[in-house]
């Protein structure tokens, strides 16, 4: 599922809405967020260029790594919707809300306000429309003819309409039965004079269809008759390059890796040797592109420096739960009984096992320099891994740490998790 056949209507506002073909981003920005926003837009552009119209899970995981590598106050509220092979991938961070209206008439509301990290979800159910906006924004104001195809514009949110809905012919004002009475968006669209353009900075990048002839309710319709307003792909639009500074922004580099460690970094005491990209991001010496901003490392001097190690990626459980790899983990039914967890050297990752084959302390994920290792903790039924370049599962030797690469699946009992990382050596 991708965004190609969806209509994107931008809500007026002071934030930013960006469309990269395979993904749409909505965010609120303050001066202290400038560096992160530039990195987020650049990373999204790179991933969409590599994956076309279906960046999906890959984009969400890389953005999760970007969030975990930044200080909390540097991260703005943002929402991302990306096309994927198995549905639309959604990510909400901070004061961002999403409301999904299914074709069957049901609706679901999601919010990033009440979680410590972010909300991510894969939407597979057919939907009629969806909204993503800041929970602090005023009531959405949109022009029903707008359709953002690419570029970066001002806005506080976006309404996503399916092809069938976006191409439906507008009913005359004197035919109230054509309105969806419980849809406030349709009510606003009907009340707005169609011959009066909306003046807004957010109109940059909109594609407006040619005026259509009035629709008669008595006219005969057919499969070839489509008299409603059509998005015109031949219309030109103005887009802003993510490589250029955004209007009014002063681009500042992120803090260099040699800065004083934050309180959480001082507590972990994890210092590694690595290389810095031109923007000051700490990287694995083996990488060819910066894991945070994607800039090439080929022309860097590769002088090793010492600094706090950033998160090495994420582990994603088979139910969609994700965990940042910024510390060691103990996995099991009761991992808090482990000495590593009790002494604060590792975090517990509790996994529910309906088959009762998972041990209380089943396995450990250990971070060693720039490597991620998996170790079976002497469990009763063992731990197995499936490497991305193999078709066969490998059983681990107990208490023997094994280095894993991004894409590796880890299995125990009937549960699985996968390791993914934006720090993959490329």
Q: Are residues 304 and 327 in the same domain?
A: no
**Residue 331 bridge partners (DSSP):** 349, 363
Element (H, E) at 187: helix 184-191
Residues 61 and 176 in one domain: yes
Mean pLDDT of the chain, nearest integer: 77
The residue among 308, 339, 363 that closes a domain is 308
Look at residue 227 and tell me if it is in a domain: no
Q: The sheet that has 282-283: what strands, in order across it?
A: 282-283, 271-276, 305-308
- 134-149 pLDDT, tens per residue? 877 667 778 888 899 8
The residue out of 186, 203, 220 marking a domain boundary is: 203
**Burial classification of residue 9, based on how many CB atoms lie within 10 Å of its CB (0-12 exposed, 13-18 middle, 19 or more buried):** buried
Q: How confident is the model at residue 300 (pLDDT cuts 50, 70, 90)?
A: low
Does some domain include residue 226? no
Domain that holds residue 297: 263-308
Does residue 215 sit within a domain? Answer: no
In the predicted model, is pLDDT for residue 424 greater than 90?
no
Dist. CA 351–CA 176, nearest whole Å: 53
Name the more confident of 210 and 280: 280
Q: 104: exposed, middle or buried (C-beta count within 10 Å: 0-12, 13-18, 19+)? A: exposed
Query: Does one domain contain both 57 and 12?
Result: yes
Are 19 and 154 part of one and the same domain?
Answer: yes
Do residues 115 and 105 make contact, with C-beta atoms less than 8 angstroms apart?
Answer: no
Which tens digit of pLDDT belongs to each residue from 264-287? 333 445 888 888 888 888 888 888
Task: Give the C-alpha separation, 216 to 129, whole Å.
Answer: 26
Residues 323 and 296 in one domain: no
Q: In angstroms, rounded to a whole number, what is the distance separating the alpha carbons of residues 392 and 266?
A: 41
Residue 161 and residue 14 share a domain? yes
Residues 6 or more apart from 302 whose CB is under 8 A from it? 275, 285
User: Distance from CA of residue 132 to its chain's centroid?
Assistant: 13
Q: What is the pLDDT of residue 210?
A: 47
Q: Which of 135-149, 172-186, 406-420 has the lowest mean pLDDT?
A: 172-186
Would residue 209 count as lying in a domain?
no
Same domain membership, residue 137 and residue 58: yes
Q: Are residues 296 and 326 in the same domain?
A: no
Better-predicted residue by pLDDT, 325 or 138: 325
Question: Of 198-207, 209-218, 355-364, where does the model show the most confidence?
Answer: 355-364
In a shared domain, residues 20 and 89: yes
What's the DSSP call for residue 255? P
369 lies in some domain: yes
Report the share of the chain in percent with pLDDT over 90.
Answer: 39
Backbone angles phi, psi at 415, to 5 degrees: -110, 155
Does 120 share its domain with 155? yes
Q: What is residue 14's predicted lDDT score, i.e. its pLDDT?
A: 86
CATH number of the domain residue 130 falls in: 3.60.40
Nearest one of 13, 4, 12, 19 to 143, comparing CA atoms: 12
Alpha-carbon distance of 297 to 283, in angstroms, equals 9
272 falls within a domain: yes
Q: Are residues 162 and 271 in the same domain?
A: no
Residues 19 and 168 in one domain: yes
Which of 177, 203, 229 is where one domain is finished?
203
Q: Which two tokens stand for residue 26?
A: 């909505």
Quote the number of domains for the chain. 3
- CATH code assigned at 386: 2.60.200.20
User: Residue 249: is it exposed, middle or buried by C-beta count within 10 angstroms (0-12/13-18/19+)?
Assistant: middle
């Amino acid at each position: 599922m991708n965004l190609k056949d969806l209509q994107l209507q931008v809500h007026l506002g002071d934030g930013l809405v960006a469309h990269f073909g395979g993904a749409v981003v909505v965010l609120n920005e303050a001066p202290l967020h400038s560096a992160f926003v530039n990195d987020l837009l650049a990373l999204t552009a790179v991933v969409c260029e590599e994956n076309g119209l279906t960046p999906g899970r890959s984009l969400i995981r890389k953005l999760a790594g970007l969030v975990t590598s930044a200080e909390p106050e540097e991260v703005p509220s943002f929402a991302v919707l990306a096309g994927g092979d198995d549905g639309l991938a959604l990510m909400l961070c901070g004061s961002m809300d999403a409301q999904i209206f299914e074709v069957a008439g049901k609706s679901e509301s999601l919010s990033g306000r009440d979680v410590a990290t972010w909300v991510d979800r894969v939407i597979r159910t057919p939907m009629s429309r969806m909204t993503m906006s800041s929970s602090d924004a005023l009531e959405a104001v949109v022009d029903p003819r707008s359709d953002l195809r690419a570029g970066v514009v001002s806005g506080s949110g976006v309404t996503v309409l399916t092809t069938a809905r976006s191409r439906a012919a507008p009913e005359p004002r004197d035919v109230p039965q054509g309105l969806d009475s419980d849809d406030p968006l349709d009510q606003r669209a009907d009340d707005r004079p169609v011959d009066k353009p909306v003046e807004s900075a957010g109109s940059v990048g909109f594609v407006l269809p040619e005026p259509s002839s009035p629709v008669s309710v008595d006219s005969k319709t057919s499969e070839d008759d489509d008299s409603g307003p059509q998005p015109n792909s031949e219309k030109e639009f103005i887009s802003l390059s993510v490589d250029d500074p955004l209007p009014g922004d002063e681009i500042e580099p992120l803090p260099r890796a040699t800065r004083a460690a934050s309180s959480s970094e001082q507590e972990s005491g994890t210092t590694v040797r690595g290389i810095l990209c031109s923007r000051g991001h700490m990287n694995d010496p083996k990488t060819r592109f910066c894991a945070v901003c994607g800039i090439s490392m080929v022309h860097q001097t590769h002088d090793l420096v010492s600094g706090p190690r950033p998160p090495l990626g994420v582990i994603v459980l088979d139910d969609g739960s994700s965990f940042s790899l910024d510390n060691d983990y103990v996995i099991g039914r009761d991992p808090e009984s482990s000495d590593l967890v009790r002494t604060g050297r590792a975090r517990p990752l509790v996994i529910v096992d309906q088959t009762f084959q998972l041990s209380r302390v089943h396995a450990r994920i250990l971070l060693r320099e720039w490597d991620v290792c998996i170790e079976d903790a002497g469990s009763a039924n063992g731990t197995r891994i499936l490497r991305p370049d193999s078709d066969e599962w490998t059983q681990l030797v107990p208490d023997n740490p094994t280095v894993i690469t991004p894409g590796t699946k880890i299995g125990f009992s009937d549960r699985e998790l996968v390791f993914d990382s934006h720090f993959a050596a490329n």
